[in-house]
Chain A
């Protein structure tokens, strides 16, 4: 079992009173709460802070924690035998190794079981904890739907009520139509309930991997479409990639740079039916090297053309 210094996590002295502990928690909770903080690692930090507060705000849990003494944070340790005896008064006997036990599960389990022990007429059902995780998808997976393996460490309780961290692989089918930040729910795939209580749920947040060609806005996709100056001037038929394979796109004559050509229904599918669009954003690209003949033709064009792309400069910017 790894030792966690709950006092250091909250930034308080070991003799801090309840008000000081509460004030320290509130300050850190505002800073790291995952619903409001964008700091990297805020969620993990908040979990630590909350775990420390949940233990230290409860006099019974705090006393039990204090009896563990001071250890080096993160180092493996074994609670003294008399500590476990005191814990067992609340919890029941414990057998087995301490290796895969998380200190948080011990104190969290203590609260739930204490409530159930106090209840009359048998143990009270305790619902399993809800979990949240991020599921990373490629754009192709988001478009077609995907089956993904999610690995989560969740506490499980043996017959004696002792907690143990177990690595679970949860398979989830993500239906077609995900967009960045989209949320989904897997019913009953969170933590296990106790005493006949229901399992918790697993909440998923979709994060799309950046695509080398397509940029995403909701269900619409944007693709940079490089074309040659003569294709822009004369129009052309070009092949463009889509998520479902290449399609032909007609470039109209006299197409300007930055023009968006829409391919209807070629974006990401929508859960309710239909699909977003794909926009090809025109970029007019010059060859980096011109042959003698190409250069001669451009010179010829320059000599006959009356086109002045900067004509509006003379009119103070008014076109």
Chain B
């Protein structure tokens, strides 16, 4: 069995930044597809007016999901954008439910 040396895993969150080329490579999308996802409102550049776009590294997750859904379910762009919007909404609601459950005191059963 091969054992590798421990490497530091990097957060995919709002802190890190990636370029269009890096985002395309990490998500398996073409750069044009990344730009199309920006046009559809699925991906948001850090500064849309900057001459060359950058994205938070959290966008890698959205772009990868977009790539998988497009490839695996053969979704057309608008259906893809809608699916991603609904998935994000579900994720937010699930996080709210988890938060509310955490706030509830455990009730002792008689």
B69 touches A185 (CB 8 A): no
- Which residue in chain A gives the minimum CB-CB distance to B101? A215
CB contacts (< 8 Å) of A169 on chain B: these are 1-4
Cβ < 8 Å to B, chain A residues 280-304 = 281, 283
> How far is it, in angstroms, between the C-alpha of A35 and the C-alpha of B65 when the chains are bound?
7
Interface check B74, CB cutoff 8 A: yes
Contact A175/B6 with A33-B73, A222-B103 known, Cβ cut-off 8 Å: no
Report if A168 contacts B (CB, 8 A): yes
A12 interface residue per 8 A CB criterion? no
> Bound complex: CA of A183 vs CA of B59, how far in Å?
11
Q: Is the interface of A mostly helix, strand, loop or mixed?
A: strand
Minimum CB–CB distance for B74 against chain A, Å: 7
A184 and B11 contact, CB distance less than 8 A: yes
- Taking a contact as CB atoms closer than 8 A, the residue among B6, B13, B74, B105 that contacts A271 in the complex is B13
The complex places the Cα of A182 from the Cα of B16 at a distance, in Å, of 14
Nearest A residue to B83 by beta-carbon distance? A36
Q: Max chain A CB contacts within 10 Å: which of B5, B68, B73, B101?
A: B73
Is the CB–CB distance between B61 and A29 below 8 Å? no
Q: Which of these, B6, B68, B83, B99, contacts A147 with CB under 8 Å?
A: B6
Rounded to whole Å, the gap between the CB of A149 and the closest CB of chain B is: 8
Point out the residues of chain A lying under 8 angstroms from B3, CB to CB: 169, 171
State whether B4 touches A35 (Cβ < 8 A): no
Whether A167 touches B15, Cβ cut-off 8 Å, given contacts A147-B6, A184-B9, A215-B101, is no
A33 to B99, Cβ gap below 8 A?
no
Q: How many residues of B contact A (CB 8 A)?
A: 36
- B contact residues around A187 at 8 Å (CB): 7, 10
Cβ–Cβ < 8 Å partners of B42 in chain A: none
Give the docked Cα–Cα distance between A224 and B105 (Å): 6
Which chain A residues in 46-84 approach chain B with CB under 8 Å? Answer: 46, 50
State the CA gap A171–B7 with chains docked (Å). 7
* In contact, B12 and A183 (Cβ under 8 angstroms): yes
A215–B105 alpha-carbon span in the complex (Å): 10
Which residues between 156 and 181 of chain A lie within 8 Å of chain B, taking CB atoms? 166-175, 177, 180-181
A166 and B46 CA atoms in complex are apart in Å by 41
- Is the C-beta of A126 less than 8 angstroms from some C-beta in chain B? no
A165 to chain B minimum Cβ distance, whole angstroms, is: 12
**CB<8 Å pairs between A and B, sample of 26:** A26-B74, A29-B73, A33-B68, A33-B73, A35-B69, A166-B2, A167-B1, A171-B4, A172-B8, A172-B9, A173-B8, A175-B8, A175-B9, A175-B11, A183-B61, A185-B12, A186-B9, A189-B4, A189-B7, A201-B26, A203-B12, A215-B102, A216-B98, A217-B103, A281-B103, A281-B105
Q: Which residues of B contact A (CB under 8 A)?
A: 1-13, 15, 26, 28, 57, 60-61, 64-65, 68-69, 72-74, 83, 87, 95, 98-99, 101-103, 105-106
